[in-house]
Structures are given as C-alpha cells and as structure tokens.
Amino acid sequence: MPTTPTRDAVRERYAAAARSHLTGDASPCCSGSRSGGEPDPITVGLYERTDSPSDAALAASLGCGNPTALADLSPGEDVLDLGSGGGLDVLLSARRVGPTGTATGLDMTDEMLELARRNQAEAGIANARFVRGRIEAIPLDDASVDVVISNCVINLSADKDAVIREAHRVLRPDGRFAVADVVLLRGIPDALRGIVGLWTGCISGALLDTAYVERLTAVGFTDASVEITRTYGRDDLHRLSGLVGDQLPHGWTLEQVVDALDGSFASAFVRASKPAEQ
C-alpha cells in the first residue's frame, strides 16, 4: 500500500528518535520539549524507574500513559502492543504475563524495532517478540491475542477506523482493548489539523473523546469508555510550541494557535471489550 505524507512524517520522526537512542545521542522527540531539554508535559512522569525492566527502554518511551497498568494483565495472557516503539510496554507486559504468556510489539519503523530488540536483550526477557508492520493491517491471525494495548500511537494513524477494526479482529472473545492515547475534548480549527508537526506530536490527529467511543462501538466492541488522565493548558502548549516550528498557518500567530488549542486535548485511558461468542 502506498505511504501517505502523514505516515512518512510519523515514521521519520520516530526513526530519528530511535537513531538518537541507538547512537547514544538521545533527545526528546514526541511530543517535544522546551529549549534546554526540559521534559515535555505529555510524556513525563508516566512510569516509576524501579518498575522498568530496562533503563534504555524507559528513556526511549514516547507515550502519554501506562497501558500495562491499565490493562490489568494476568499470567498466561497474550498481549499485542500497537506501535511498540522502544519496547518498554512490551517488556513490562511480558514480565506481567509470565513465561506462560507472550507479548508482541508491532512497529512500522526499522530503527525502533532494532532499538526494542536491543532493549529486550538488555532486560533478558524471553517471552517477547517484535514484528514489523502497520497498525492498520496487523500481521497476526484472527482471535490470536487476549489484550491489545497501545501508548499514544492510534491518534497518529490517518485511518483510525482500520486500526480499531484490526484490533477487534485479532482479539479473542472476551478480549480487552486497553490503550493510552491523546483525545480531543472539543473540535480544533481545520487549519491546525494540517500541521504535520502537531500531528506527529500527538495532537491534531486525535479523535474527539465521544467519537472514540462511537467508533469502538461501531465495530462491535462493548463497554467502550474514555477516562481522562491528564489535561493540558497554556503553559503546556508553550512547552510544545517547538513542534509547530515554521509551519504556522497563513495569518496565524503562535499565540493564536495556543488560544485555539487551550483546553482542547488531554491524555486518556481508552477501554473496550470484545464480547464472548454467543
């Protein structure tokens, strides 16, 4: 399938982040940072360092939540992480499901897969694997996993309906969809949705919280819900302003962009269940 400008931009942004960690020259990638390297407001403070099986995987985490805590994993379960990046959530999941379970990471970026496998080797975790592919076309069999997790990735997809359909397909009956994502709390101007820097920064590609529930329900999920975990105001938006760069829409100032986005987005836990077979 041909790539799209958005997908190419997302892949290159995450490839650059992975290369920086592989070469030891890591710098924040998504969702940005203040000058001077201050942590960005979306990715900071999501995990306890003592919980991580790999310091390198923790350092490379670019998410907006901790889906492994959300999913309430049990020994023996098979887990799939959509857009697994540096592998932190896969490694945490593998440890929670134990030797009788498995954790699979899916990512479209070769550099991220290389980084994840290196982090897996460092952690010495055997029941994890990382595969290449797109979250819109998951290369796994029907009804092959118990839990689908993801961390600030589905909002980056230009075809979220395909992602949700695929998640439903690969889940077993009684399976669980448990992801961390960025959601919109109200609409944003169309002019801002075209800014690639905001898309790869996890804002302008996000769904409305109500639309997320509607799309999950439409493909057959039940008990769909969105739980807001962190909201963002003007100070946070100024920290993220480096993502806009020179891509301001014609006639817009940076302060107008901040005004338009103030209070419009949040990090959230998104949950749903696949019904048992009748």
Q: Which residue ranges form the domains of the chain, and what is each CATH number?
A: 5-273 (3.40.50.150)
Tens of pLDDT along the chain (278 residues) come to 444 545 565 555 555 655 565 566 544 434 443 334 445 555 554 545 545 555 555 454 555 667 777 788 999 999 999 999 889 899 999 999 999 999 999 998 888 899 899 999 999 999 999 999 999 999 999 999 999 999 988 988 889 999 999 999 999 999 999 999 989 888 888 888 777 566 556 676 889 999 999 999 999 999 999 999 888 888 887 777 766 667 788 888 888 888 888 888 888 999 999 999 74
If DSSP codes are grouped into helix, strand and coil, which group holds residue 177?
Answer: strand
Query: What residue type is assigned to position 226 of the chain?
Result: V
If DSSP codes are grouped into helix, strand and coil, which group holds residue 172?
Answer: strand
β-pair partners for 66: none
Residue 51 tokens read as: 């919980």
Distance CA 251, CA 179 (A): 37
Element (H, E) at 173: strand 171-184
Distance CA 210, CA 80 (A): 25
Distance CA 269, CA 182 (A): 9
What is the pLDDT, as a whole number, of residue 2? 43
What are the b/e assignments for 207-242, b being 16+ CB within 10 Å?
Answer: bbbeebbebbeebebeebebeeebebeeebbebbbb
If DSSP codes are grouped into helix, strand and coil, which group holds residue 13?
Answer: helix
**DSSP H helices in 51-156:** 55-59, 67-71, 88-97, 110-123
Hunting for tokens 């739980």 — which residue is that?
227
Distance CA 181, CA 183 (A): 6
Distance CA 267, CA 230 (A): 5
Instruction: Find out whether the peptide bond into 31 is cis, omega within 30 degrees of 0.
Output: yes
Q: Do 119 and 60 contact (CB within 8 A), yes or no?
A: yes
pTM: 0.80
Neighbouring CB atoms inside 10 A of 47's CB total 18
Q: Do 225 and 270 contact (CB within 8 A), yes or no?
A: yes
